[in-house]
Amino acid sequence: MKDALRELLLHALDTLRQDGVLDASVPPFVIERTRSREHGDFACNAALLLAKTLGRKPREIATALVAAMPASKLVARTEIAGPGFINFFLSDAAWHEAIRRALHEGAHYGHSRSGADRAVGIEFVSANPTGPLHVGHARAAAIGDTLARLYSATGWKVYREFYYNDAGAQIQNLALSVQARIGGIEPDDPRWPADGYRGDYIKDVAKDYLAGATAVAGGEQVTAGRNPDDLDAIRHFAVTWLRREQDEDLRAFGVAFDVYFLESSLYVDGKVQQVVDRIASQGHSYEADGALWLRATEFGDDKDRVMRKSDGTYTYFLPDVAYHLSKWERGYKHAITELGADHHGSLTRVKAGLQALDIGIPKDWPQYVLHQMVTVLKGGEEVKISKRAGSYVTLRDLIDMAGLDATRYFLIARKSDSQLVFDIDLARSQTNDNPVYYVQYAHARVCSVHRQMHERSIVFEQHEALKHLDRLGGEHARTVMVEISRFPEIVEAAAASHEPHLLAQYLRELAGAFHVWYNAEQFLVDDEGLRNARVALAYATRQTLANGLGMLGVSAPESM
C-alpha cells in the first residue's frame, strides 16, 4: 500500500519538474500509517521537506503535489493537514487489494525481495559446551532463529551460525568435574573441583566415558578412552557429548544451524596469533607491565585493553576478534551477533580489535542484538532449579512445562532488550489471555468455517468470490482488511530493526480484529455473494496468520 502511494507521489513530483514548478531534488520522504483514521489512513511529509529546500510554504507545495497526482482507484480522497502533511483516505478497493494479494500469493504473502540474495550471517545461542542449554539460551535461540526466518522472508541468503567456546578455563573445569565423577567424588566432597559443574548430567558423561561410549556432534565422532587419568581424552569426549545434547535440545526447539564453528580451531590454525601480529604491524598495540595491549582508545573504547597477559595466555576477547575476522573473510558483509546483555562490555573491545586490523571492516560491523534475562514463574513463584542442570532452568524444562509453540512465542513476545517473565501457567492456559492460544485459535476458527462448508457441500470459487468484495461492509470487516494489509510492512520492519517481537504483537492484533468480526457477523449466510466475500476475507486472514506463525516457528493448528 505504501509502495502504491509512493508511486503516485513520485509521478506528481515528475510532473511538477516538467512544469518547472520543482527544480530541486526531493529529500527522502516518509509515508506512514496514521494513528487515527480521522487523519486519514496514511500521511506523507514530502511537502514539509521540500519547503525547506525551496523556501516556500509547505501547504502551498502540498496543494501542488495533490493536484499533480494521477487519479487512483486506491485513494478515495486526500487532505492537507497541519503545517503541510498530505493525508490519504483510501477507498474500499485499496483494502480489497490486500485480500487479493493474500489469497493470490498464498504462502509467499508477506515475503519480499528486498534482500536481493545478499548474504547475512546470523550467529546466536553460541553456548559454552559445559552443560544443558538454559532459559537465556532459549531466548537467544527464539530471537536468532526468528530473525533468520524474517531475513529469509525478505530475500536474504541466510546462514545460521553457532560458535562453540570450547577452549579456556570453563572447559578445563568441565573436564575436572567429569574426572571427579569418574573417581566417585560427589559435589559435596571437599575434593570436588572449586569451580566444578554440579549437575546430574556430569554423572551421565562420566558413566558413558567409562563405558567407552561414542558421541557424535558437528560431524565429529569421539569414542571415550575410558582412562580416568587422561584429562585430554575426558575433555574431548565431554565437549562432544555436551555438544550432542545441546544439538538435540535445539532440534526439539525447531532450530538448526548451517555452520558450527569451534573456538579451539582458531588456536589450532594460528588465527589468534595472526590477529595479534596484524594489529602489531599496524602500530595499534604496545607492551607494558609484561603484557601486550591493544590501543583500544583509538577506536572508541574507554581504555586500552590487554590482549596477551604476562603469563602468555590471551584474554577472552581476542579469539572473538579472530572469529569475527573469519566471518568477514567468509563473505558475511552483513553480520548479526545475538548475545545476552551480560556480554555488552565486550562488544566495544571486539569492534576496536576489528578496526585495529585496518582491513576495511566498517565501524558498525557486526551488528549486535542483545537480550535480557528471563524469569520463569510457576504457581506464582519463581522456578530456579533444574535437577539435571543443578542450578538453572533448561530449555528442555521450558518445552516440557509449556510446550514448543508457547515457549517459542513467549520468548519472542517482548522486545529483546526488555526483561522477560515467562509465566508457565499462562502459557499452558487455553484462554484469550494466553497470546499464542489467542492467535492459534483465530486460525483454527477459519479452518472450522472451511470444514462446515465442506459438510454442507458449499463450494467456494475464489475467482468468483473476489468479484463480490464490495459486499464487505462495516467497521469490523474493514479493520481486519487493514490489519492484513499491514503484514508485509511488519515483516520488513521486524527484520530491518532486528525486533521480531513486532511480528508477535502484530499477529495478536490481527487475531483480535478477526475474533471481533467473527463474533459480530455470520459467514455462511444464504446470500452467495455476501457469503463468498466474507469467506474470502476469512481465508486471507488464515493465510496471513499461518505465514506469520511460520516465521515465528510456531504451528498453525486447524482445530483446538
Q: What is the β-pairing status of strands 381-382 and 374-378?
A: antiparallel
In contact, 87 and 40? CB cutoff 8 Å: yes
pLDDT exceeds cutoff 80 at 296: yes
- Per the structure block, which three cell numbers stand in for 97? 487489494
Cα–Cα dist 99/1, whole Å: 12
The mean pLDDT of the chain is 94
CATH superfamily of 123-167+260-371: HUPs (3.40.50.620)
Contact 96, 469 (CB under 8 A): yes
Query: What pLDDT, on a 0 to 100 scale, did the predictor assign at position 167?
Result: 86
List of residues 6+ apart from 267 with CB closer than 8 A: 167, 319
Contact 545, 439 (CB under 8 A): yes
Q: Are 556 and 507 in contact (CB under 8 A)?
A: no
User: What is the pLDDT, as a whole number, of residue 388?
Assistant: 67
pLDDT of residue 206 exceeding 70, the answer is yes
Kindly report, residue by residue over 509-536, the tens digit of the pLDDT. 999 999 999 999 999 999 999 999 999 9
Bond prior to 366 in cis (omega within 30° of 0): yes
Q: Find the radius of gyration of the CA atoms of the chain.
A: 29
The confidence score (pLDDT) of residue 556 equals: 98
Q: Where are the chain's structural domains?
A: 2-90, 123-167+260-371, 374-428, 431-552
Of 25-39, 234-248, 412-426, 515-529, minimum mean pLDDT range:
25-39
**Are residues 155 and 113 in contact, defined by beta-carbon separation less than 8 angstroms?**
yes
pLDDT of residue 422: 97
The CATH class of the 2-90 domain is alpha beta
Q: Which residues contact 2 (CB under 8 A, 6 or more apart)?
A: 31, 32, 42, 489
Instruction: Give the integer Cα–Cα distance in Å for 203 and 371.
Output: 31
The three-point CA angle 537-538-539 to 5° equals 90
Q: List pLDDT tens digits, range 404-460.
A: 999 999 999 999 999 999 999 999 999 999 999 999 999 999 999 999 999 999 999
Query: Which CATH topology does 431-552 take?
Result: Isoleucyl-tRNA Synthetase; Domain 1 (1.10.730)
